[in-house]
Amino acid sequence: MFVPVPAERLREALADPARVARAVPGLQQDAGAEPVAGRLKVRVGSHSVTYRGSVRITGQDDGSYAIEGDATETRGTGVVKLALTLSLREADGGATVRFEGTASADGRVTELPPDAVASATGRLLSRFAENLGTLGAADEVGPLDEPPPGKAPEEPQAPEPPAPVEPPAPIDLPPAAFEAEVPPSALPEDFPGDDAPPAEAAHARRTMIGRSAEEVDHAPPRGRYAPVPAPQTIAPNPVLRWAAPAAAVALASAIVVTRALRRRR
């Protein structure tokens, strides 16, 4: 059959057992077994037979390949053995794949029509050659991550860093109430000057109109702005009301008697 892939690519695929295993249609590989080994379901007409076995491909000196395989029915005692020779020949736009050899079988397959068995065998080999050509074409294209010859690989562009966020401009708040400037006319006469210690100046400043709102709310006003307490009215004592005039009369009588005695002398 014709395969649209150069023969050299097919030879590279046949030299890799892993590719050969992928080319066998419907093969379910066994874990830890040989590369081309596992279960294979073969459909013959309206019947299907499942085999478990392995296949070995060996290159020959003349450029051909020897294919040897054996399998056993999974639900029976039938055995299949094959010995094929695969040869490749260059053709226009690809290559020609040719299978030659013999196969022997017993069990359920012997109960089926010979024409159906021959058709199923030819269909299996045809799909194997097509899959082998597909793998060879993929190798010809090459991995997707390799750049074409003569072109340097493009480096991924790093994402642009985000624009720096400018901090908000500082807000000029008015100075606190206790730091407000007090005009000279509002200061008391005994307000300390620049030579006063800082603690006394701060204490004097807090006693004036520059005090904070908390001091005004929680402390009584002091200094010249403190409220004048109302005078307290004291009721006069009735005894003292008469004692004062009596004392004045006694004092005046004593003065008069003193003067009269001085004249007599």
pLDDT at 182: 46
**Entry pTM:** 0.50
pLDDT tens track of the chain, all 265 residues? 899 999 999 999 999 888 888 899 888 888 777 778 899 998 888 889 999 999 999 999 999 999 999 999 998 889 999 999 999 999 998 999 999 999 899 988 889 998 999 999 899 999 999 998 888 777 654 443 444 444 444 555 656 666 666 666 665 555 544 444 445 554 455 444 545 455 555 555 555 555 555 555 566 666 666 666 666 665 556 655 667 777 777 888 888 778 878 777 6
Q: How many domains does the chain have?
A: 2
pLDDT at 150: 46
**Together in a domain, 36 and 114:** yes
**Together in a domain, 80 and 199:** no
**Together in a domain, 115 and 9:** yes
Domain membership of residue 66 (yes or no) is yes
Domain membership of residue 146 (yes or no) is no
Which amino acid does the sequence have at 15?
A
pLDDT at 143: 44
Which amino acid does the sequence have at 91?
A
pLDDT at 95: 92
pLDDT at 234: 58
Give the chain as a DSSP string.
Answer: -EESS-HHHHHHHHT-HHHHHHHSTT-EEPTTS-TTEEEEEEEETTEEEEEEEEEEEEE-TTS-EEEEEEEEETTS--EEEEEEEEEEEEETTEEEEEEEEEEEE-SGGGGS-HHHHHHHHHHHHHHHHHHHHHHHHHHHH--TTSPPTT-PPPPPPPPPPPPPPPPPPPP-PPPPGGGSPPPGGGS-TT---TTS-HHHHHHHHHTSTT--HHHHHHS---GGGSPPPPPPP-PPPHHHHHHHHHHHHHHHHHHHHHHHHHHH-
For residue 207, the enclosing domain spans 176-224
Domain membership of residue 77 (yes or no) is yes
pLDDT at 219: 60
**Together in a domain, 126 and 16:** yes
Look up the CATH number of the domain holding residue 111. 3.30.530.20
Domain membership of residue 28 (yes or no) is yes
Identify the helix (H) or strand (E) that includes residue 164. Answer: none
